Amino acid sequence: MNRNAQWYKLSYRWIVYLCTHSFTAFINMKQEDINQLNQTLAKANAEKILTKVAALFPGKIKFASSLGYEDQIITHFIAKKNLPIPIFTLDTGRLFPETYDLIDRTVARYKTNIEVYFPDYKQVEEMVNQKGINLFYHSVENRKLCCGVRKTEPLKRALSGLDAWITGLRREQAVTRTHMQAIEWDAMHGLIKVNPLINWTVGEVEQFIKKEGIPYNKLHDKGFPSIGCQPCTRAIEPGEDIRAGRWWWEQPEQKECGLHKS
């Protein structure tokens, strides 16, 4: 090998080393780095945030859609800009028929794929046979067990190998979400969590859905602002908190399913 070829080989290795280590350093971001990124993106709209994170985490980021209003907006942006961000959802086995219908309509409208993750059938069988088919009504502990088996475990599988994930969380959705930022460190999953709609109000969400003709869950028109599993979600009355219909038998500060603990 001549001297030039040797030099190019060494330079190439050095560039690869620097790139790899810079990226690793980024992934091991400290809170100050996350704060800095939040400041940089403070004036960016959701579309820009998504474009930025798609470029920052190529092949290592996914969008977790629960098919609610907010998630449909994010799917719309990803499809519109053809961003390289795979979309997935969790089928707990207890969803509303309207939610399954929405998966079909969304795939048809955007000509995109939505990966579906299911719970481990052995864990579901064991839980149901030991605790009952509707165990979640009997105690918070049982409800958390069910969410763990049907949501948290499949989510962990869906997120494995990633550096970042995207959610449709908004700050005003719940008392447990008031402190959230657009970009956060998700200690529970060991990933960056991106919340592009964190500052949106419910009014902005509804207006945008209408303006763009985005497919949405028909239950939203029947008093369901937040839609999860069928046995754990009810319609709300005018004036009630938008999360009042989720696990309505529990206290507000208990109402997280384990996917978004801070």
Q: Which residues are catalytic?
A: 257
Q: How far is the CB of 130 from ligand SF4 (least distance, A)?
A: 15
Q: How far is the CB of 258 from ligand SF4 (least distance, A)?
A: 9
Say which residues have a Cβ less than 8 Å from residue 38's Cβ, sequence separation at least 6. 181, 182, 183
Residue nearest to ligand SF4 (CB): 229
The residue among 53 and 257 lying less far from ligand SF4, judged by its C-beta, is 257
The residue among 31 and 129 lying less far from ligand SF4, judged by its C-beta, is 129
Give the binding site for ligand SF4 (CB under 6 A). 92, 94, 136, 143, 146-147, 150-151, 228-229, 231-232, 257
The residue among 92 and 167 lying less far from ligand SF4, judged by its C-beta, is 92
In angstroms, rounded to a whole number, what is the distance separating the alpha carbons of residues 76 and 184?
23
Q: How far is the CB of 159 from ligand SF4 (least distance, A)?
A: 17
Q: How far is the CB of 202 from ligand SF4 (least distance, A)?
A: 21
Nearest to 89 by CA among 76, 102, 80, 108: 102
Phi then psi dihedrals of residue 124, to 5 deg? -65, -45
Q: How far is the CB of 232 from ligand SF4 (least distance, A)?
A: 3
Per the rule left: phi > 0, alpha: psi between -120 and 50, beta: everything else, 67 is left
The side-by-side arrangement of strands in the sheet containing 61-64 is: 114-117, 87-90, 61-64, 164-166, 191-194, 183-186
The residue among 61 and 236 lying less far from ligand SF4, judged by its C-beta, is 236
Nearest to 100 by CA among 85, 111, 114: 114
The residue among 151 and 220 lying less far from ligand SF4, judged by its C-beta, is 151
In angstroms, rounded to a whole number, what is the distance separating the alpha carbons of residues 49 and 55?
10
The residue among 192 and 229 lying less far from ligand SF4, judged by its C-beta, is 229
Q: How far is the CB of 150 from ligand SF4 (least distance, A)?
A: 4
Nearest to 198 by CA among 184, 179, 181: 181
